Structure 1
Amino acid sequence: MSWPAQKDRRRDKRRREMLWAASDVFTALDFNQANMQAIADSAGVTKATLYAHFDDKEQLYRAVIDYWLEELPEPKLPCQARGGLRACLERVARELLQQSEQPASHALTHIALRSNRIPQKRWRQRYLPYQNYLEKALSQSARCSDHGQAATQFLLLAVGSIDCSNLMAVSGPRLAAAVELFVQAYA
Protein backbone atom coordinates (compact mmCIF):
# COMPACT_ATOMS: atom_id res chain seq x y z
CA MET A 1 0.00 0.00 0.00
CA SER A 2 1.33 3.43 -0.89
CA TRP A 3 2.25 5.99 1.74
CA PRO A 4 -0.58 8.42 0.82
CA ALA A 5 -3.13 5.59 1.01
CA GLN A 6 -1.86 4.55 4.47
CA LYS A 7 -1.98 8.16 5.62
CA ASP A 8 -5.58 8.52 4.36
CA ARG A 9 -6.63 5.32 6.15
CA ARG A 10 -5.07 6.51 9.41
CA ARG A 11 -6.77 9.91 9.06
CA ASP A 12 -10.14 8.25 8.34
CA LYS A 13 -9.70 5.93 11.34
CA ARG A 14 -8.84 8.83 13.62
CA ARG A 15 -11.81 10.84 12.35
CA ARG A 16 -14.13 7.89 12.95
CA GLU A 17 -12.76 7.48 16.49
CA MET A 18 -13.37 11.18 17.15
CA LEU A 19 -16.94 10.85 15.86
CA TRP A 20 -17.55 7.88 18.17
CA ALA A 21 -16.12 9.78 21.13
CA ALA A 22 -18.21 12.82 20.26
CA SER A 23 -21.29 10.56 20.09
CA ASP A 24 -20.58 9.36 23.61
CA VAL A 25 -20.11 12.90 24.91
CA PHE A 26 -23.22 14.26 23.15
CA THR A 27 -25.20 11.32 24.57
CA ALA A 28 -23.89 11.86 28.10
CA LEU A 29 -23.98 15.64 28.22
CA ASP A 30 -26.19 16.87 25.36
CA PHE A 31 -25.06 19.47 22.85
CA ASN A 32 -25.13 22.51 25.13
CA GLN A 33 -23.09 20.96 27.93
CA ALA A 34 -20.61 19.15 25.71
CA ASN A 35 -17.41 20.96 24.82
CA MET A 36 -14.51 20.35 22.49
CA GLN A 37 -12.10 19.61 25.36
CA ALA A 38 -14.33 16.88 26.77
CA ILE A 39 -14.67 15.36 23.30
CA ALA A 40 -10.93 15.54 22.66
CA ASP A 41 -10.26 13.89 26.03
CA SER A 42 -12.77 11.16 25.28
CA ALA A 43 -11.19 10.57 21.86
CA GLY A 44 -7.66 10.53 23.27
CA VAL A 45 -6.54 13.39 21.05
CA THR A 46 -5.60 16.98 21.63
CA LYS A 47 -8.10 19.75 21.17
CA ALA A 48 -5.90 21.01 18.31
CA THR A 49 -6.28 17.66 16.55
CA LEU A 50 -10.03 17.84 16.98
CA TYR A 51 -10.08 21.35 15.51
CA ALA A 52 -7.93 20.16 12.61
CA HIS A 53 -10.82 17.91 11.61
CA PHE A 54 -13.81 20.03 12.67
CA ASP A 55 -14.12 23.82 12.71
CA ASP A 56 -16.38 23.95 15.76
CA LYS A 57 -18.76 21.96 17.94
CA GLU A 58 -21.70 22.59 15.61
CA GLN A 59 -19.82 21.13 12.63
CA LEU A 60 -18.71 18.17 14.72
CA TYR A 61 -22.27 17.56 15.88
CA ARG A 62 -23.56 17.60 12.30
CA ALA A 63 -20.74 15.23 11.29
CA VAL A 64 -21.76 12.82 14.08
CA ILE A 65 -25.40 12.83 12.95
CA ASP A 66 -24.42 12.42 9.30
CA TYR A 67 -22.02 9.60 10.18
CA TRP A 68 -24.67 7.59 12.03
CA LEU A 69 -27.34 8.25 9.41
CA GLU A 70 -24.94 6.97 6.75
CA GLU A 71 -24.19 3.89 8.88
CA LEU A 72 -27.84 2.87 8.90
CA PRO A 73 -28.26 0.03 6.42
CA GLU A 74 -30.62 0.56 3.55
CA PRO A 75 -33.79 -1.44 4.03
CA LYS A 76 -33.99 -4.57 1.92
CA LEU A 77 -37.25 -3.78 0.21
CA PRO A 78 -37.93 -4.98 -3.32
CA CYS A 79 -38.51 -2.46 -6.08
CA GLN A 80 -42.03 -3.72 -6.63
CA ALA A 81 -44.60 -4.16 -3.87
CA ARG A 82 -45.85 -7.70 -4.52
CA GLY A 83 -47.58 -10.38 -2.52
CA GLY A 84 -50.59 -8.57 -1.17
CA LEU A 85 -50.90 -5.73 1.29
CA ARG A 86 -50.31 -7.83 4.41
CA ALA A 87 -47.08 -9.27 3.03
CA CYS A 88 -45.84 -5.79 2.06
CA LEU A 89 -46.70 -4.31 5.46
CA GLU A 90 -45.04 -7.23 7.26
CA ARG A 91 -41.93 -6.76 5.11
CA VAL A 92 -41.75 -3.10 6.11
CA ALA A 93 -42.35 -3.99 9.76
CA ARG A 94 -39.48 -6.52 9.73
CA GLU A 95 -37.13 -4.00 8.15
CA LEU A 96 -38.12 -1.27 10.63
CA LEU A 97 -37.49 -3.65 13.52
CA GLN A 98 -34.11 -4.70 12.10
CA GLN A 99 -33.13 -1.06 11.57
CA SER A 100 -34.09 -0.20 15.14
CA GLU A 101 -31.68 -2.88 16.38
CA GLN A 102 -28.69 -1.41 14.52
CA PRO A 103 -25.92 0.30 16.55
CA ALA A 104 -26.33 3.39 14.35
CA SER A 105 -30.01 3.58 15.25
CA HIS A 106 -29.19 3.27 18.96
CA ALA A 107 -26.57 6.02 18.71
CA LEU A 108 -28.91 8.36 16.84
CA THR A 109 -31.75 7.72 19.25
CA HIS A 110 -29.60 8.37 22.32
CA ILE A 111 -28.19 11.57 20.85
CA ALA A 112 -31.64 12.75 19.79
CA LEU A 113 -33.06 12.04 23.24
CA ARG A 114 -30.42 14.32 24.79
CA SER A 115 -30.73 17.11 22.24
CA ASN A 116 -33.33 18.17 19.73
CA ARG A 117 -30.77 19.69 17.39
CA ILE A 118 -31.06 17.02 14.70
CA PRO A 119 -32.47 18.59 11.54
CA GLN A 120 -35.97 17.17 11.09
CA LYS A 121 -35.63 16.92 7.33
CA ARG A 122 -32.41 14.91 7.63
CA TRP A 123 -33.95 12.66 10.31
CA ARG A 124 -37.03 11.95 8.17
CA GLN A 125 -34.87 10.93 5.21
CA ARG A 126 -34.17 7.64 6.96
CA TYR A 127 -37.85 6.76 6.45
CA LEU A 128 -38.08 7.67 2.75
CA PRO A 129 -37.41 4.14 1.41
CA TYR A 130 -40.19 2.82 3.64
CA GLN A 131 -42.51 5.66 2.64
CA ASN A 132 -41.93 5.00 -1.08
CA TYR A 133 -42.43 1.25 -0.75
CA LEU A 134 -45.57 1.70 1.34
CA GLU A 135 -47.02 4.11 -1.23
CA LYS A 136 -46.54 1.46 -3.93
CA ALA A 137 -48.12 -1.23 -1.76
CA LEU A 138 -51.06 0.97 -0.79
CA SER A 139 -51.62 2.05 -4.40
CA GLN A 140 -52.85 -1.51 -5.04
CA SER A 141 -55.70 -1.01 -2.58
CA ALA A 142 -58.94 0.36 -4.02
CA ARG A 143 -59.89 1.41 -0.47
CA CYS A 144 -56.90 3.76 -0.11
CA SER A 145 -57.41 7.13 -1.80
CA ASP A 146 -54.30 8.98 -0.53
CA HIS A 147 -51.32 6.60 -0.67
CA GLY A 148 -48.82 9.15 0.62
CA GLN A 149 -50.86 10.09 3.65
CA ALA A 150 -51.64 6.45 4.43
CA ALA A 151 -47.95 5.50 4.14
CA THR A 152 -47.06 8.27 6.59
CA GLN A 153 -49.82 7.14 8.95
CA PHE A 154 -48.50 3.58 8.90
CA LEU A 155 -45.01 4.79 9.77
CA LEU A 156 -46.40 6.90 12.60
CA LEU A 157 -48.24 3.90 14.01
CA ALA A 158 -45.23 1.64 13.53
CA VAL A 159 -42.47 3.82 14.95
CA GLY A 160 -44.36 6.40 16.98
CA SER A 161 -42.89 9.44 15.26
CA ILE A 162 -40.98 10.14 12.09
CA ASP A 163 -39.28 13.16 13.56
CA CYS A 164 -36.92 13.14 16.50
CA SER A 165 -39.01 15.22 18.88
CA ASN A 166 -41.06 12.32 20.27
CA LEU A 167 -38.97 9.16 20.05
CA MET A 168 -40.44 5.82 21.03
CA ALA A 169 -38.97 2.35 20.99
CA VAL A 170 -39.88 0.28 17.95
CA SER A 171 -41.33 -3.04 19.10
CA GLY A 172 -42.70 -6.17 17.53
CA PRO A 173 -46.14 -5.81 19.14
CA ARG A 174 -46.42 -2.17 18.01
CA LEU A 175 -45.47 -3.14 14.44
CA ALA A 176 -47.88 -6.10 14.43
CA ALA A 177 -50.71 -3.84 15.60
CA ALA A 178 -49.95 -1.34 12.83
CA VAL A 179 -49.97 -4.13 10.23
CA GLU A 180 -53.31 -5.50 11.53
CA LEU A 181 -54.95 -2.08 11.57
CA PHE A 182 -53.88 -1.32 8.01
CA VAL A 183 -54.90 -4.76 6.72
CA GLN A 184 -58.35 -4.21 8.22
CA ALA A 185 -58.59 -0.71 6.80
CA TYR A 186 -57.19 -1.22 3.31
CA ALA A 187 -57.06 -4.89 2.35
Structure 2
Amino acid sequence: MNSLQLREDSRRGKRQRDMLWAASDVFAAFGHDLANMQVIAESAGVTKATFYAHFGDKAQLFRAVIEYWMEELPEPSLPCEVNGELRSCLEAVAQALLQQSMHPAFLALTNILLRSNWVPQKRWRQRYRPYQAYLEKALGQSARCSDPVRAAGQFLLLAVGNLDPGTSTLTDESRIAAAVELFVQAYT
Protein backbone atom coordinates (compact mmCIF):
# COMPACT_ATOMS: atom_id res chain seq x y z
CA MET A 1 0.00 0.00 0.00
CA ASN A 2 1.47 3.38 -0.93
CA SER A 3 1.42 6.52 1.19
CA LEU A 4 -1.43 8.07 -0.82
CA GLN A 5 -3.65 5.04 -0.10
CA LEU A 6 -2.70 5.14 3.58
CA ARG A 7 -3.64 8.82 3.83
CA GLU A 8 -6.93 8.17 2.02
CA ASP A 9 -7.74 5.25 4.34
CA SER A 10 -6.84 7.43 7.33
CA ARG A 11 -9.09 10.26 6.09
CA ARG A 12 -11.93 7.82 5.39
CA GLY A 13 -11.55 6.29 8.86
CA LYS A 14 -11.54 9.72 10.51
CA ARG A 15 -14.59 10.79 8.51
CA GLN A 16 -16.47 7.65 9.47
CA ARG A 17 -15.47 8.09 13.13
CA ASP A 18 -16.64 11.73 13.03
CA MET A 19 -19.97 10.61 11.59
CA LEU A 20 -20.34 7.97 14.31
CA TRP A 21 -19.59 10.57 16.99
CA ALA A 22 -22.15 12.96 15.54
CA ALA A 23 -24.71 10.16 15.38
CA SER A 24 -23.85 9.26 18.98
CA ASP A 25 -24.62 12.80 20.10
CA VAL A 26 -27.97 12.80 18.32
CA PHE A 27 -28.92 9.35 19.60
CA ALA A 28 -27.91 10.41 23.12
CA ALA A 29 -30.07 13.53 22.87
CA PHE A 30 -33.14 12.05 21.17
CA GLY A 31 -32.90 8.28 21.42
CA HIS A 32 -33.20 5.89 18.49
CA ASP A 33 -36.87 6.50 17.74
CA LEU A 34 -36.80 10.31 17.66
CA ALA A 35 -33.43 10.76 15.96
CA ASN A 36 -33.62 11.30 12.22
CA MET A 37 -31.01 10.97 9.53
CA GLN A 38 -31.28 14.61 8.43
CA VAL A 39 -30.43 15.91 11.91
CA ILE A 40 -27.62 13.37 12.23
CA ALA A 41 -26.19 14.37 8.85
CA GLU A 42 -26.38 18.08 9.69
CA SER A 43 -24.67 17.39 13.03
CA ALA A 44 -21.85 15.60 11.19
CA GLY A 45 -21.57 18.26 8.50
CA VAL A 46 -22.29 15.82 5.67
CA THR A 47 -25.24 15.06 3.45
CA LYS A 48 -27.89 12.54 4.31
CA ALA A 49 -26.85 10.62 1.20
CA THR A 50 -23.34 10.27 2.65
CA PHE A 51 -24.76 8.64 5.76
CA TYR A 52 -26.88 6.27 3.72
CA ALA A 53 -23.87 5.39 1.58
CA HIS A 54 -21.77 4.57 4.65
CA PHE A 55 -24.33 2.98 6.94
CA GLY A 56 -27.48 2.07 5.03
CA ASP A 57 -30.47 2.99 7.16
CA LYS A 58 -30.94 4.38 10.66
CA ALA A 59 -31.07 0.91 12.22
CA GLN A 60 -27.71 -0.02 10.69
CA LEU A 61 -26.25 3.32 11.78
CA PHE A 62 -27.49 2.74 15.33
CA ARG A 63 -25.90 -0.72 15.37
CA ALA A 64 -22.66 0.77 14.02
CA VAL A 65 -22.67 3.39 16.78
CA ILE A 66 -23.23 0.75 19.47
CA GLU A 67 -20.53 -1.50 17.99
CA TYR A 68 -18.10 1.42 17.76
CA TRP A 69 -18.49 2.30 21.44
CA MET A 70 -18.46 -1.35 22.53
CA GLU A 71 -15.14 -1.79 20.72
CA GLU A 72 -13.79 1.36 22.38
CA LEU A 73 -14.46 -0.05 25.85
CA PRO A 74 -11.21 -1.31 27.32
CA GLU A 75 -10.94 -4.89 28.48
CA PRO A 76 -11.16 -5.16 32.27
CA SER A 77 -7.78 -5.08 33.96
CA LEU A 78 -8.25 -8.12 36.16
CA PRO A 79 -5.45 -10.37 37.36
CA CYS A 80 -4.96 -13.39 35.11
CA GLU A 81 -5.23 -15.86 37.93
CA VAL A 82 -7.54 -15.84 40.90
CA ASN A 83 -5.30 -16.09 43.89
CA GLY A 84 -5.23 -14.47 47.25
CA GLU A 85 -8.02 -13.69 49.61
CA LEU A 86 -11.55 -13.06 48.49
CA ARG A 87 -11.43 -9.39 49.52
CA SER A 88 -8.55 -8.63 47.16
CA CYS A 89 -10.34 -10.41 44.29
CA LEU A 90 -13.56 -8.49 44.94
CA GLU A 91 -11.63 -5.23 45.19
CA ALA A 92 -9.91 -5.95 41.85
CA VAL A 93 -13.33 -6.38 40.21
CA ALA A 94 -14.65 -3.29 41.99
CA GLN A 95 -11.74 -1.18 40.75
CA ALA A 96 -12.15 -2.46 37.18
CA LEU A 97 -15.90 -1.74 37.28
CA LEU A 98 -15.23 1.80 38.49
CA GLN A 99 -12.69 2.38 35.74
CA GLN A 100 -15.14 1.08 33.16
CA SER A 101 -17.94 3.30 34.45
CA MET A 102 -15.80 6.40 33.98
CA HIS A 103 -14.55 5.52 30.50
CA PRO A 104 -15.85 7.83 27.73
CA ALA A 105 -17.10 4.86 25.70
CA PHE A 106 -19.14 3.56 28.63
CA LEU A 107 -20.61 7.02 29.23
CA ALA A 108 -21.49 7.38 25.55
CA LEU A 109 -23.16 3.97 25.48
CA THR A 110 -25.09 4.67 28.66
CA ASN A 111 -26.34 8.03 27.37
CA ILE A 112 -27.43 6.54 24.06
CA LEU A 113 -29.09 3.46 25.50
CA LEU A 114 -30.89 5.30 28.30
CA ARG A 115 -32.89 7.18 25.66
CA SER A 116 -33.49 4.33 23.26
CA ASN A 117 -36.00 1.53 23.39
CA TRP A 118 -34.10 -0.31 20.69
CA VAL A 119 -31.18 -1.89 22.50
CA PRO A 120 -29.01 -4.92 21.75
CA GLN A 121 -29.48 -6.63 25.14
CA LYS A 122 -27.05 -9.47 24.50
CA ARG A 123 -24.24 -7.20 23.29
CA TRP A 124 -24.76 -4.79 26.21
CA ARG A 125 -24.44 -7.61 28.75
CA GLN A 126 -21.29 -9.03 27.12
CA ARG A 127 -19.17 -6.35 28.75
CA TYR A 128 -19.80 -8.00 32.13
CA ARG A 129 -18.69 -11.49 31.09
CA PRO A 130 -15.02 -11.12 32.12
CA TYR A 131 -16.09 -9.83 35.54
CA GLN A 132 -18.60 -12.66 35.93
CA ALA A 133 -16.01 -15.33 35.05
CA TYR A 134 -13.40 -13.89 37.40
CA LEU A 135 -15.90 -13.61 40.25
CA GLU A 136 -17.09 -17.18 39.71
CA LYS A 137 -13.53 -18.44 40.13
CA ALA A 138 -12.88 -16.28 43.19
CA LEU A 139 -16.15 -17.19 44.89
CA GLY A 140 -15.69 -20.84 43.94
CA GLN A 141 -12.67 -20.92 46.26
CA SER A 142 -14.81 -19.98 49.24
CA ALA A 143 -16.11 -22.92 51.23
CA ARG A 144 -19.11 -20.80 52.25
CA CYS A 145 -20.24 -20.13 48.67
CA SER A 146 -22.39 -22.99 47.39
CA ASP A 147 -23.33 -21.36 44.06
CA PRO A 148 -20.49 -19.20 42.67
CA VAL A 149 -22.32 -18.49 39.40
CA ARG A 150 -25.33 -17.06 41.17
CA ALA A 151 -23.20 -15.22 43.72
CA ALA A 152 -21.08 -13.64 40.99
CA GLY A 153 -24.22 -12.35 39.28
CA GLN A 154 -25.52 -11.01 42.58
CA PHE A 155 -22.24 -9.19 43.23
CA LEU A 156 -22.45 -7.50 39.84
CA LEU A 157 -26.05 -6.48 40.45
CA LEU A 158 -25.16 -5.00 43.82
CA ALA A 159 -22.11 -3.23 42.43
CA VAL A 160 -23.59 -1.71 39.29
CA GLY A 161 -27.31 -1.67 40.07
CA ASN A 162 -28.64 -3.24 36.89
CA LEU A 163 -27.05 -5.14 34.04
CA ASP A 164 -29.71 -4.21 31.51
CA PRO A 165 -29.49 -1.14 29.31
CA GLY A 166 -31.96 1.66 29.62
CA THR A 167 -32.16 1.33 33.39
CA SER A 168 -28.52 1.85 34.28
CA THR A 169 -27.60 3.57 37.48
CA LEU A 170 -24.34 5.33 38.04
CA THR A 171 -21.65 3.15 39.50
CA ASP A 172 -19.94 4.88 42.36
CA GLU A 173 -17.30 4.01 44.92
CA SER A 174 -19.68 3.77 47.88
CA ARG A 175 -22.01 1.36 46.09
CA ILE A 176 -19.14 -0.88 45.02
CA ALA A 177 -17.45 -0.71 48.44
CA ALA A 178 -20.73 -1.78 50.06
CA ALA A 179 -20.96 -4.77 47.68
CA VAL A 180 -17.38 -5.78 48.52
CA GLU A 181 -18.03 -5.55 52.28
CA LEU A 182 -21.28 -7.50 52.06
CA PHE A 183 -19.62 -10.34 50.11
CA VAL A 184 -16.57 -10.42 52.39
CA GLN A 185 -18.93 -10.76 55.36
CA ALA A 186 -20.99 -13.45 53.64
CA TYR A 187 -18.27 -15.59 52.12
CA THR A 188 -15.15 -15.40 54.30
TM-score tier by shorter-chain length is over 0.9
- Paired with 1:70 and 1:126, the residues of 2 have a C-alpha distance of 10
Q: What amino acid sits opposite 2:148 in the alignment? A: H
Runs of at least 4 residues off by over 2 Å: none
* Deviation of the 1:137 alpha carbon: 0.5
- What's the CA shift string for 1:131-185, capped at 9, x where partnerless? 0110111111011111111110000000001111421000100000000110111
> Corresponding residue for 1:136?
137
SS in 2 for 1:80: coil
Q: Does the 8 A contact of 2:82 with 2:134 survive in 1?
A: yes
In the TM superposition, what is the alpha-carbon distance from 1:30 to its structure 2 partner? Answer: 1.1
Offset of residue 3 of structure 1:
1.6
Query: What is the TM-score with the length of structure 1 in the denominator?
Result: 0.97
Unaligned runs of 5+ in 1: none
Q: Does 1:164 align with 2:165?
A: yes
- Could you list the per-position Cα deviations for residues 7-44 of structure 1 after superposition, in whole angstroms to 9, with x for gaps in the alignment? 11111100100000000000111111111111110001
Q: So what's the TM-score if we normalise by structure 2?
A: 0.97
Task: Confirm whether residue 148 of structure 1 aligns to residue 155 of structure 2.
Answer: no
More moved, 2-11 vs 155-164: 2-11
Give 1:49 shift.
1.1
The whole-number CA distance in structure 1 between the counterparts of 2:157 and 2:117 is: 19
Cα distance in 2 for residues equivalent to 1:3 and 1:31: 37
Q: Within the alignment, does 1:76 sit opposite 2:77 as a pair?
A: yes
1:55 correspondence with 2:56? yes
CA distance in 1, matches of 2:17, 2:99: 24
Kept in 1, the 8 Å contact 2:116–2:166? The answer is no
Query: Sequence identity, in percent?
Result: 67
Measured on the aligned residues, the alpha-carbon RMSD in Å equals: 0.9
